[in-house]
Structure 1
Amino acid sequence: MKYLLFLLISYTSFAQNNEFPSAKVEAIVNRIQLPVIPSYQINVLKLGAKGDAVSNNKAVFDKAMALCKKNNGGTIIVPKGTYKINGPIHFVSNVNLKIEKRAKIKFSDKPEDYLPMVLTSWEGTMLYNYSPLIYAYQCSNVAITGEGTIDGEGGKIWKSFKAKETEGKNLSRDMNHNNTPIKDRKLGKGYFLRPQMIQFFNCKNILIENIRIENSPFWCLHLLKSESITVRGVSYKSLNYNNDGIDPEYVKDVLIENVTFDNGDDNVAIKAGRDHEGRANSATPSENIVIRNCNFKGLHGVVIGSEMSAGVQNVFVENCKTVGFLKRGIYLKTNADRGGFIKNVFVRNIQLDEVEDCLYMTANYHGEGKGYQSEISNIHFSNITCNKASESGIVIQGFQQKKIQNISFNNIEIKEAKNALSNENAENVLMTDVFIGNRAGVPSAVSKH
Structure 2
Amino acid sequence: MTLKEKKKDIVNRITLPVFPDRSFDVTAFGADGNGEADSTSAFQQAIDEAHRSGGGRVTVPKGVFLTGALKLKSNVELHVKKDAVIAFSRNPDDYLPAVLTRFEGVELYNYSPLIYAYEAENIAITGGGTLDGRADDAHWWPWKRGTNGQPSQENDRDALFEMAERNVPVDERRFGKGHYLRPNFIQPYRCKKVLIQGVTVMNSPMWQIHPVLCESVTIDGVKVIGHGPNTDGVDPESCKNVIIKNCQFDNGDDCIAVKSGRNADGRRINVPSENIVIENNDMKDGHGGVTVGSEISGGVNNVFAEGNRMDSPNLDRALRIKTNSVRGGVLENIYFYDNVVKSLKREVIAIDMEYEEGDAGEFKPVVRNIEVDRLKSTGGQYGIRVLAYDHSPVTGLKVTDSEINGVAVPMELKNVKDPVFSNLYINGKRYDSHEK
What TM-score do the two structures reach when normalised by structure 2? 0.94
What amino acid maps onto 1:396 in structure 2?
A: V
Q: CA separation in 1, counterparts of 2:350 and 2:402?
A: 14
Q: CA separation in 2, counterparts of 1:342 and 1:422?
A: 20
Residue in structure 1 matched with residue 433 of structure 2 by the alignment = none
- Following superposition of structure 1 onto structure 2, how do residues 116-135 of structure 1 map, counting pairs within 5 Å? 116-135=97-116
SS in 2 for 1:23: helix
Indicate whether 1:386 and 2:369 are aligned.
no
Q: CA separation in 1, counterparts of 2:55 and 2:414?
A: 54
1:353 to 327, 334, 342: 342
Instruction: Write the deviation string for residues 186-226 of structure 1: whole angstroms up to 9, x where unpaired.
Output: 01123210000110000000000000011111100001000
SS in 1 for 2:116: strand
1:65 to 47, 55, 58: 47
Per-residue deviation at 1:69?
Answer: 2.1
Residue in structure 1 matched with residue 179 of structure 2 by the alignment = 191
Q: CA separation in 2, counterparts of 1:168 and 1:191?
A: 7
Instruction: Write the deviation string for residues 12-61 of structure 1: whole angstroms up to 9, x where unpaired.
Output: xxxxx9xx601011111111111121222111122222211212111110
Residue in structure 2 matched with residue 291 of structure 1 by the alignment = 278
Instruction: Write the deviation string for residues 74-108 of structure 1: whole angstroms up to 9, x where unpaired.
Output: 110001111111x2010110000000000000001
- Following superposition of structure 1 onto structure 2, how do residues 201-220 of structure 1 map, counting pairs within 5 Å? 201-220=189-208
Residue in structure 1 matched with residue 13 of structure 2 by the alignment = 31
Q: CA separation in 1, counterparts of 2:300 and 2:115?
A: 26
- Following superposition of structure 1 onto structure 2, how do residues 35-184 of structure 1 map, counting pairs within 5 Å? 35-85=17-67, 87-155=68-136, 156-163=138-145, 164-184=152-172
1:302 to 290, 298, 302: 290
SS in 2 for 1:69: helix
Q: CA separation in 2, counterparts of 1:165 and 1:46?
A: 40
SS in 1 for 2:6: helix
Q: CA separation in 1, counterparts of 2:402 and 2:268?
A: 38
Q: Which moved further from structure 2: 152-161 or 136-145?
A: 152-161
Contact preservation (8 Å) 2:397, 2:419: yes
Q: Greater helix percent: which structure?
A: 1
Q: CA separation in 2, counterparts of 1:402 and 1:215?
A: 39
Indicate whether 1:224 and 2:206 are aligned.
no
SS in 2 for 1:161: helix
Indicate whether 1:421 and 2:411 are aligned.
yes
SS in 1 for 2:375: strand
Per-residue deviation at 1:367?
Answer: 4.4
Residue in structure 2 matched with residue 436 of structure 1 by the alignment = 426
Contact preservation (8 Å) 2:208, 2:224: no
Residue in structure 2 matched with residue 254 of structure 1 by the alignment = 242
What amino acid maps onto 1:226 in structure 2?
A: C
Query: How many pairs does the alignment contain?
Result: 419
Contact preservation (8 Å) 2:326, 2:357: no
Per-residue deviation at 1:297?
Answer: 1.3
Indicate whether 1:375 and 2:356 are aligned.
no
Residue in structure 1 matched with residue 262 of structure 2 by the alignment = 274
Q: CA separation in 2, counterparts of 1:379 and 1:236?
A: 27
Q: CA separation in 2, counterparts of 1:50 and 1:281?
A: 42
Indicate whether 1:324 and 2:315 are aligned.
no
Instruction: Write the deviation string for residues 404-425 of structure 1: whole angstroms up to 9, x where unpaired.
Output: 1111000221111111100111
Per-residue deviation at 1:62?
Answer: 1.4
Per-residue deviation at 1:362?
Answer: 1.4
What amino acid maps onto 2:412 in structure 1?
A: S
What TM-score do the two structures reach when normalised by structure 1? 0.91
Greater radius of gyration (CA)? 1
Per-residue deviation at 1:323?
Answer: 3.5
What amino acid maps onto 1:297 in structure 2?
A: K
What amino acid maps onto 1:30 in structure 2?
A: N
Per-residue deviation at 1:262?
Answer: 0.9
Instruction: Write the deviation string for residues 378-419 of structure 1: whole angstroms up to 9, x where unpaired.
Output: 110011111111x21101121111111111000221111111
What amino acid maps onto 1:418 in structure 2?
A: A
Contact preservation (8 Å) 1:203, 1:226: yes
5+ residue gaps, structure 1: 1-16, 441-449
Q: CA separation in 1, counterparts of 2:38 and 2:49?
A: 19
Q: CA separation in 2, counterparts of 1:314 and 1:361?
A: 16
Residue in structure 2 matched with residue 401 of structure 1 by the alignment = 391
Per-residue deviation at 1:438?
Answer: 2.8
Per-residue deviation at 1:72?
Answer: 1.6
Q: CA separation in 2, counterparts of 1:285 and 1:145?
A: 27
Q: CA separation in 1, counterparts of 2:382 and 2:340?
A: 16
Q: Which moved further from structure 2: 307-316 or 360-369?
A: 360-369
Question: CA RMSD of the aligned region, Å?
Answer: 1.2
Residue in structure 2 matched with residue 7 of structure 1 by the alignment = none
Residue in structure 2 matched with residue 12 of structure 1 by the alignment = none
Q: CA separation in 2, counterparts of 1:364 and 1:273?
A: 18
Instruction: Find runs of 4+ consecutive structure 1 residues off by over 4 angstroms.
Output: none
Q: CA separation in 1, counterparts of 2:189 and 2:28?
A: 30
Q: CA separation in 1, counterparts of 2:251 and 2:417?
A: 35
